[in-house]
Chain A
Amino acid sequence: MALPEEWEAAPEPGWVAPVLAEEFPGLGIASTVVACGSGRSPAALRERLRELSNRFHGSHAVMLRQRPIPWAYRVFFRHIGLDPDQTRTPVEQVALDRMHDGGFKSRGVLEDAITIATIESGVALTAFDADMLQGRLGLRLLEPGERFAGRRSAMPEGTIAIADESRSLAILFGKMAEGVEVGRRTKRTALVAIGLKGVPDIALEEALWLGASAMRA
């Protein structure tokens, strides 16, 4: 049985700059657009978070880095100069928050959807205001002197960034430029998944589908 079209989250593959593709085979980015913004989570989504809290315990958090997908992100963090014990991988950050808060706390539709998709799939997700993007999303190195909207100083040359076809949008696994984040006025959200070697394509699709379906619920 085919699902209604609005329930299909067809992932759109993005581009990767050749220098990055050569250095990191398997690095990729995929996105899907959901026709809603953020806001307070409905009761059904909050209930889903509560159920997820009951299924995710300390033992899961401890063994997380031995699971293949979270391990792949830890390894990639090491490869790009980040310490995954300081700058946590997305799934480890969500797990740590779960342990700290005693449960997955509801923080809004988008944040809750990303939490559910991240914990269920292990894939790193982020989101942008889809109406602020121009063209397809991709990964590239920042040019010398390139600046982010909302930042006074230039970013270090060679920083890996998420970009669209006109400008850089965010540091990979880091801060976003001003004006592209999902806010109250956002009407369409672009959910973005970062793929790596060791993270199968189907996991990216699953993560995007989980996130999109949670946002639409």
Chain B
Amino acid sequence: MREPHRITPHDYSVEKRPGWSAFFAGLCAGRLAISAILSLHVLMLAGCANVNPRDPLESYNRVVYAFNDAVDRNVLKPVSEGYKFVVPRIARLGIRNFFANLEDLWIGANNLLQLKVGDALSDWMRVVLNTTFGIAGLYDVASDAGLEKHNEDFGQTLGWWGLPSGPFFVIPLLGPSTFRDTSAWYIDAIASPFGAAIGAIDSENVAGIRYGLWTLNIINRRADALGATTLIDQAALDRYTFTRDAFLQRRRNLVFDGDPPREKDPDEESRVREEPSGQASAPVDDAVVNDATSARMTPATVQSEVQAHAK
């Protein structure tokens, strides 16, 4: 049987993307030891024949995933549960809104980098409204006023300009990511107002506040996600595979702002033709199968998607 994998290793080599993406790739590669990871990746590809092309580092990723999971189960999750128990819902909501308001500045910047000027202005208008009428961002009055919150970061900006996500990559302590998003995360961390504000506090030598804010943000987020992780525990046959596949789909969806293009599926012959006895036969068309495999990309589709996107 043919393997369902459709990407070849060179599909996600960053050097092959011209123009802007090459510029951004260079920018990030300089900051991180990406080349080292890439060569490791090539070594591993040479070593295993039956490798998932979206996850050539699976054996490494599984180890880090298990480590992160252990840290979460033993430290972060219990602390977040205690936090959720002690801190009233309204306060948790205020804290979430406060950090979300800071993030909106950087989200607007990323929308501008993606040439979505209207969205960028909307994001910054949100900051103005929430910081003033929303009392330093504790209340999200902008959403009530009809200004939608967006989800952007530098990884999505790179994706918008055509840089493929590259292999799945689990960062120690930080969790699921990809090569592209790992490098972009570094930019997010230093360029976002939150990061900058943290840095400014640091210069006044009040490290307590700095780490306190970091911790509060992380615990508050983890408390928000308690329901989601319980859901994964119940739903997943293999939590690693489930998390990876959900994460990669989510990121692709975010890059295309919720409307990723459909793709041609090479596995068409594997469509449903038979049903269990007594059941009516269900017709399956291209679009459905394409949807079900939309996380898999080829260089040609990436290129055409980007062109379609730029219109």
A and B found bound together: no
- Interface residues of B, Cβ cutoff 8 Å to A: none
